[in-house]
Amino acid sequence: MLAKVKTAAVVGLDGHLVDVEVDISSGLPKMLIVGLPDAAVEEAKERVRPAIRNSGFSFPMRRIVVNLAPADLKKAGPSYDLPIAVGILLSSEQVSAVVSDMIILGELSLDGSLRHTNGILPMVALAREIGVSTVIVPESDAEEASLIEGTKILPFTSLAQLVGFLRGEIPAPEFTAVKTESSAPIVLSTDLAHIKGQEHVKRALEVAAAGAHNLVMSGPPGSGKTLLARALPSILPPMTTDEAIEVTKIYSVSGLLPSDTPMMRERPFRSPHYTISNAGLVGGGHFPKPGEISLSHRGVLFLDELLEFGHSLLEVLRQPLEDKVVTISRAQG
């Protein structure tokens, strides 16, 4: 029997729809995953098998083919575990449910519990764009997912709980969406109001903050350049909700979103060391990921000891400074 489950992939900073097709046929017991999976996706079969068994279901000892479509899109990360497991249970007729209007996301532990998954925000945003009404996520990612309005979020703690819901044995889990607007004050580690003296530099920082200008500080060691630079975010205006979601999406994709912070409300301050690589600064890698320039979006990128940075690093800054956009081209896209 053929089963189809919808999930999503993250390419750059955007979500792309992926169909998980599971077919179980007669033959020697074997599980194949096709559709350009990376090592983490290939290892899903070693997580899905014990997760299904430890959740109280039987893993079919037959030939299982899992196709991740579209086949020409590279698949990376462990977020395919849960949709593959659901597809196997549907294909083996242990579960009978309609999942065509759901996107299922989540990494499985060997005991069947669901773990945190990176990139939830752009994948939920994709669901809203294509008109999918329901998104199933791990409970730990529910607050992050709820930042995208107009989509029903169903958080689950385990594969067994999700199957109970699909069978109609338990009700949908209750969840209260996080408030995107918060009146709680933002506490910064360095505040410009606490720095005495240096009135001319403070005035320059205020002008730079007001007009979103770039700034070069020159002076002898110990004069307070680094301290003043770290205080710059304290005089920047609070981020709007749209700006905060933009920044949260970048940090979610990068896996840097704190577990207790569903939305980034504080403007980012990034200070990379001068030994950083080009890919680390601008972004890149086999599967392109955001670099320090993108991680400082809507905030401050501080290059301490600027002259120590290599010539090639300073050259790659030129295009983002001129165009206000970082474009990374790799063989994968």
Lowest average pLDDT, out of 15-24, 79-88, 323-332, goes to 323-332
- Report the C-alpha gap between 230 and 188 in whole angstroms: 10
Each residue of 28-55: pLDDT tens digit?
A: 999 999 999 999 999 999 999 999 999 9
The pLDDT value given to residue 150: 87
pLDDT band at 261 (very low <50, low <70, confident <90, very high): confident
The pLDDT value given to residue 57: 97
**Which of these, 180, 164, 322, 175, lies nearest to 241 by C-alpha position?**
180
Rounded to the nearest integer, the mean pLDDT of the chain is 91
Lowest average pLDDT, out of 27-31, 178-182, 227-231, 272-276, goes to 178-182
pLDDT band at 184 (very low <50, low <70, confident <90, very high): low
- Which domains are seen in the chain, by residue range? 2-166 (3.30.230.10), 192-323 (3.40.50.300)
Structure tokens at 260: 């207790």
Cis check: omega of the bond before 70, within 30 degrees of 0: yes
Percent of the chain at pLDDT > 70 equals: 96
Query: How much is the average pLDDT of 131-158?
Result: 93
pLDDT band at 182 (very low <50, low <70, confident <90, very high): low
**Which of these, 112, 204, 116, 107, lies nearest to 161 by C-alpha position?**
112
C-beta neighbour count of 56 within 10 angstroms: 10
Whether the predicted pLDDT of 140 surpasses 60 = yes
Structure tokens at 67: 């196709």
Whether the predicted pLDDT of 196 surpasses 70 = yes
Query: How much is the average pLDDT of 50-71?
Result: 96
DSSP string, 32-92: EEESSB-HHHHTHHHHHHHHHHHTT-PPP-SEEEEEEESTTS-B-SSTTHHHHHHHHHHHT
Whether the predicted pLDDT of 180 surpasses 60 = no
Question: Do the strands 283-284 and 269-270 form a parallel or antiparallel pair, or are they unpaired?
Answer: unpaired
- Report the C-alpha gap between 190 and 162 in whole angstroms: 45
- Report the C-alpha gap between 246 and 328 in whole angstroms: 18
Percent of the chain at pLDDT > 90 equals: 77
Structure tokens at 84: 């593959």
Whether the predicted pLDDT of 286 surpasses 90 = no
- What is the reported pTM? 0.86
DSSP state letter for 112: S
- Report the C-alpha gap between 72 and 78 in whole angstroms: 18
Residue 96 · residue 68 · CB < 8 Å: no
The pLDDT value given to residue 178: 59
No. of helices (H) and no. of strands (E), the chain: 12, 13
- Report the C-alpha gap between 297 and 244 in whole angstroms: 10
